[in-house]
Structure 1
């Protein structure tokens, strides 16, 4: 997508239900002391919880909790220097 922006495409599996998922994210690589590097991924997406069977019985109603749920992703990974 440009300027450290990318798109993740894949399958999300929750409660045994699989659905295609695509969401944009930013990726920043930062050098650390000793030659190590740190990668930080930040993104978010919205999913419909009922499509994954989240909320059954009385919780299936969308009056108290809506069907759309925002999921925020923040992953930090470090690689040691070689």
Structure 2
């Protein structure tokens, strides 16, 4: 009878350890998923920031091109007036 009790205790201990390991594993998986979600969010934010920066740079380039074209037109007009 003592052997049966010892075995039963051993089984209960093993079950408790298995449950503890399973709980710990579930916690670790949840934490890893959380880190993955956070990393995904950070990537999305970085992509959005990059898109905004590209759009801003494109606007600045276009503005500079328009300014240069305006300056060229003014120079051409001044040159034409000078030749007259």
TM over 0.5: no
TM-score using structure 2 length: 0.15
**What TM-score, normalized by structure 1, do the two folds share?**
0.15
Indicate the structure whose relative CO is greater, using CA pairs within 8 Å and at least 6 residues apart: 1
More strand by share: 1
Q: Which of the pair is proportionally richer in helix?
A: 2
